[in-house]
Amino acid sequence: MPTVAGQVEHPERLATQEVSYTSEGTKIPSYLARPRENGRYPGIVILHDIFGVSDHARDVARRFANVGFAVLVPDCFARIEIGTDETIDKIRVRAAQLEDHLTVRDIEGAAALLRSMPYCNGKAGTVGFCMGGRTALLLACSSDKIDATIDCWGGSVTPDTGTSPLHPVPRRARVLRGRTAGSLSRKGGVRALAENGFLLQDASVLTVCQLRRECAGLS
């Protein structure tokens, strides 16, 4: 069976637990994974896809922890009620009820929680997948409290997806305004790699290494 990046072959080397924090009056349950060995590690907030803090999201967190990150996966659906038997179409409708400015506050709170932990080096980046990719891009555009970010195939980021009172500005229009395609540049203290008018949507070895350097404070 082929291995995957960061595959955990020695789970005893990791520490995992359920944690929570409060953001704007709402309790945000989260999953934490980190190396068990004492040390100060760069932090990552993983922004899950439409399936929430699933077994897959937890596995991804452990794989990042396995290669030397302190990882938090906050429940981005904590503000809305989602039944365990709901279809994906119904979940999408409910997900659309999430308000951008509260989402930003919630993830800033996740980053703050990571930074406060004794095994974090004080830096925190985000990696978002699909729906979470949009959130990662939203953070890069809207917050100065994230040190690095990777958007993995985030949707609903182009102007043709429209806007609403809850989602007032297309993310691509904000992050790429005034940018040169193919350049590595900063906005709000966050590095974002743009290529051919879009943020890279593939968490390649290169971009993950860039994230590590940013969160480790080495560049």
Residue 99 pLDDT class (50, 70, 90 cuts): confident
The whole-angstrom distance between residue 35's C-alpha and the CA centroid of its chain comes to: 19
User: What mean pLDDT comes out for the span 173-181?
Assistant: 36
- The pLDDT tens digits of the residues spanning 10-64 come to 999 999 999 999 999 999 999 999 999 999 999 999 999 888 899 999 999 999 9
**Which sequence spans correspond to the domains of the chain?**
13-216
Where residue 99 falls (left for φ over 0; alpha for ψ -120 to 50; beta otherwise) is beta
Higher pLDDT, 91 or 176: 91
CA distance 189 to 7: 31
Instruction: Report residue 28 CA to chain centroid gap.
Output: 15
pLDDT at position 188 over 70: no
For the ranges 16-20, 85-89, 186-190, the one whose mean pLDDT is highest: 16-20
H helical segments located in 98-200: 100-116, 131-142, 171-175
Query: What kind and span of H or E run contains 28?
Result: strand 26-35
Q: What is the pLDDT of residues 144-171, one digit of tens each?
A: 888 888 888 766 655 555 555 555 554 4
Cβ proximity of 90 and 50 under 8 Å: no
Helix (H, G, I), strand (E, B) or coil at 210: helix
Q: Which CATH number does 13-216 carry?
A: 3.40.50.1820
